[in-house]
Amino acid sequence: MLFSESSAHTLEEIMRIADSSRAAVTLGLAGLAFAAYPMLRGYGSETGLAGAALYARPAWVAAHLLGMVGFALLALGLSRIDERAGRWATWGAFAVLPYYGAEAFGLHALGLRAIQTGHADMTAASDMFRYQPVAITIFALGWIAFGAVGVRLLLLARRGGEAMLRAGLVLAGVALITYLPQFFLPPAGRIGHGLLLGIGLLLTAYATWTSHEATAPTPASAGKVASTPQHG
């Protein structure tokens, strides 16, 4: 044995607290990314040269990159507070990220080329990949996985706990369940939905962080671990 039972238990607590702090940071950053994504995206006609101008904006790429970062961080953060939610979020991220990459970089390049050539009809190609059968099927499967994550968060909120944590889980859960339908909302609705998810994740992150602060070992207990003699 390297440590006594009491010190080993303390080390387990330290590892758990470290996991909680990492979860809080990743979920908080995910919340900020999800809130900023629909604000930066831009809206308007997506046909003709007007659509090309929308796609060609640097903010179009930045917004979709924030969306991709948000999904990756969401999977990482949830995996540290609930294994099942984290696993389903990872599956969802794997399914939706290729589609987001095509939106971010493919449509951006298409928009730039349409503006350079003046061929307004080039933007019609956007729907060719958006509704390509394999692409849209994988994309839909990703949203089914995220919908399951949303249901899981609502179930976790019903178990009780701190009010802020429950509120965050409920808001994030509802936002994930409704993420696919929100694509059909007007701009204000999409921005509001991003804020809903962002606030839910920020509340969850803050509650997770304050929980880790409350259970952090005191300097005296940390010193006890450091001074515990080794055996054998």
- 232 found inside a domain: no
Question: What does the chain look like in DSSP terms, one character per residue?
Answer: --S-HHHHHHHHHHHHHHHHHHHHHHHHHHHHHHHHHHHHH--S--SHHHHHHHHHSHHHHHHHHHHHHHHHHHHHHHHTT-HHHHHHHHHHHHHHHHHHHIIIIIHHHHHHHHHHHT-GGGGGHHHHHHT-HHHHHHHHHHHHHHHHHHHHHHHHHHT---HHHHHHHHHHHHHHHTHHHHTTS-HHHHHHHHHHHHHHHHHHHHHHHHHHHHTPPPHHHHHHHHHPPP--
Q: Confidence band (pLDDT; 50, 70, 90) for 156?
A: very high
- 122 found inside a domain: yes
What pLDDT score was predicted for residue 31?
A: 98
What pLDDT score was predicted for residue 123?
A: 87
What is the domain extent for residue 220? 5-227
Determine the length of the chain: 232
pLDDT digits (tens, 9 = 90+) for 61-86: 999 999 999 999 999 999 988 999 99
**Cα within 13 Å of Cα(25), Cβ side:** 5
- CB-CB neighbours of 177 under 10 Å: 18
What pLDDT score was predicted for residue 129?
A: 84
**Cα within 13 Å of Cα(42), Cβ side:** 19
pLDDT digits (tens, 9 = 90+) for 128-152: 888 999 999 999 999 999 999 999 9
Q: pTM score, two decimals? A: 0.82
What pLDDT score was predicted for residue 223?
A: 41
What pLDDT score was predicted for residue 186?
A: 96
Q: How many structural domains compose the chain? A: 1
Tokens at residue 161, please?
């706990």
Structural contact between residues 61 and 100, judged by C-beta atoms closer than 8 angstroms? no
How much is the average pLDDT of 159-180? 93
Is residue 3's pLDDT more than 70? no
Q: What is the dihedral of CA 190, 191, 197, 199, to 10 degrees?
A: -160
Q: Confidence band (pLDDT; 50, 70, 90) for 232?
A: very low
Tokens at residue 61, please?
């790429």
What pLDDT score was predicted for residue 219?
A: 42
pLDDT digits (tens, 9 = 90+) for 12-60: 554 455 567 888 999 999 999 999 999 999 999 999 999 999 999 999 9
Tokens at residue 188, please?
């204000």
What pLDDT score was predicted for residue 22?
A: 87
Structural contact between residues 146 and 176, judged by C-beta atoms closer than 8 angstroms? yes
What pLDDT score was predicted for residue 121?
A: 87
pLDDT digits (tens, 9 = 90+) for 175-222: 999 999 999 999 999 999 999 999 999 999 999 988 755 554 444 444
What pLDDT score was predicted for residue 17?
A: 53
- 116 found inside a domain: yes
Is residue 6's pLDDT more than 50? no
Question: What does 171-222 look like in DSSP terms, one character per residue?
Answer: HHHHHHHTHHHHTTS-HHHHHHHHHHHHHHHHHHHHHHHHHHHHTPPPHHHH
- 110 found inside a domain: yes
